[in-house]
Amino acid sequence: MSRLKKIGMVLGYGLLLVAIVVVICYAHIGARDHRENQRITGFDIHIDGAGSHMLIDAESMFKWFSKHGVSPKNKSIAELDLAALEGVALKHSAVESCNAFVSYDGRIEMTIMQREPIARLRLDGGYDHYIASDGVLFRASDGYAAYVPVITGSYAAIVDREFSGNIYEFISDSVVALERRMVELEHKKYPIHSERKRIKERNKSVSDSTIRKPFWVSKEKHEARKEDLKLFKEAHNQKYLKKDAELVKQLDKLTSMQSVLSQKITTLKSTDEDLKRFIEFIKSTLSDSFWSAEITQLVLTSGDKGAINITIVPRSGDYLVELGDTHNLTEKLHNMREFYDKVLHNVGWDKYSRISVRYDGQVVCQPRN
């Protein structure tokens, strides 16, 4: 290949590279100008994961964005903050996730994944929440209702009626905060222990002290000094005992506070396990064609140490089914199903007013008056 031909090829490639750079720059400038001048031409919201439980729709989300001051109406693309828009969407308790983008013609396309409710919590005290399968509680919205089992009763919930969020995370955070407080109280004991040790050593030093008799001091005067020292030791020991008792009282108070915190931690952990078993129970009944049709309402009450006690209000008759606590729920339902098939079908659905399967391997019935 001749020298001139090589030079021509290098120049050709160089000009091509320059042309590509120029095109990219013009495209970037054009996109920037388009972004600065293009107005939002539309906003489409698509709700996924709703199934038969439509708790939110596009119209309610439009109002939600307006309420929080991030409505894209009458804005340019340059003024639009998609991250802020998505962030506000995620603040809605019924929204599990969302994703948004802007098309070239200026339309916002947002896809929202709605949380899937498995039950509606309507406990005494004004609670009205939906429970999601992942343990999230979110307030029920006006105008929309999911056809899921309703939970009523006097059970003492660990969150107030305004709570929205993941109940498991709430318990975990509460336990961490209590454990941190216990450590703080333990640290407060250290200087008290040190002070007890110091005054004990000081008292021992005083108690062990003696007075030697110089040869020039008379026996009577030496005896008087010994008596004075004895009285001083007794007074010092009384002062020491009083101070030590005060310090012990402070330690006992801190220990008592730790004991209360420890009990709260134990209760929270027990409640966490209780709720997990209960939510798994709801999910299992919803996946069972028989129980999903039979269970219309669950009544919760507080048992021993605040444990959940469950009573089923069935669709098939005017009676109640007591499941008791959340342990062995699968076995209890199995026993109840067998009782349905072998007994109730034969004696009639209204023979009993209350049926209990709370005890292992037993079905206890209360006949109707």
Residues 179 and 106 in one domain: no
- Which of 253, 271, 289 is at the close of a domain? 271
In-domain check, residue 365: no
In-domain check, residue 296: no
- 277 within 8 A of 326, measured Cβ to Cβ: yes
Q: Map residue 166 onto helix, strand or coil.
A: strand
- Which of 91, 114, 137 is at the close of a domain? 114
State the DSSP string of 14-54: HHHHHHHHHHHHHHHHHHHHHHHHPBP-EEEEEEES-TT--
Tell me the C-alpha distance between 98 and 92, whole Å: 11
- Which of 68, 93, 114 is at the close of a domain? 114
Residues 178 and 265 in one domain: yes
Range of the domain at 233: 170-271
- Select from 349, 341, 355, 278 the least CA-distant residue to 315: 349
pLDDT (tens, 9 = 90+) of the chain, 369 residues, equals 566 666 666 566 666 675 565 556 554 555 454 455 678 888 899 988 756 667 788 888 888 998 998 888 878 888 888 888 899 999 888 888 999 988 878 888 999 998 888 999 999 999 999 998 889 998 887 666 778 899 999 999 999 988 988 999 999 999 999 999 999 999 999 999 999 999 999 999 988 888 887 878 788 888 888 888 889 889 999 999 999 999 999 999 999 999 999 999 999 999 999 999 999 999 999 999 999 999 989 999 998 878 999 999 998 878 899 999 999 999 999 999 988 888 887 777 778 889 999 988 788 888 887
In-domain check, residue 155: no
- 352 within 8 A of 366, measured Cβ to Cβ: yes
Tell me the C-alpha distance between 167 and 160, whole Å: 11
Residues 105 and 198 in one domain: no
Residue 348 backbone zone (phi > 0: left; psi -120 to 50: alpha; other: beta): left
In-domain check, residue 323: no
Residues 102 and 181 in one domain: no
Q: How far is CA 227 from CA 212, 213, 231, in A?
A: 13, 13, 6
Q: What is the CATH number of the domain that holds 97?
A: 3.10.20
pLDDT, position 25: 53
In-domain check, residue 239: yes
Torsion angle of the four alpha carbons 85, 90, 91, 93, in this order, in degrees rounded to the nearest 10: 140
Residues 102 and 176 in one domain: no
Tell me the C-alpha distance between 78 and 212, whole Å: 95
Residues 262 and 190 in one domain: yes
In-domain check, residue 349: no
Residue 279: CB atoms within 10 Å: 20
Number of domains in the chain: 2
DSSP one-letter code for 344: I
- Select from 340, 304, 339 the least CA-distant residue to 325: 304
- Select from 270, 286, 329 the least CA-distant residue to 120: 286
In-domain check, residue 194: yes
CB proximity list for 35: less than 8 A, separation 6 or greater: 76, 77, 78
Q: What is the pTM of this model?
A: 0.76
In-domain check, residue 76: yes
pLDDT, position 34: 47
- 112 within 8 A of 259, measured Cβ to Cβ: no
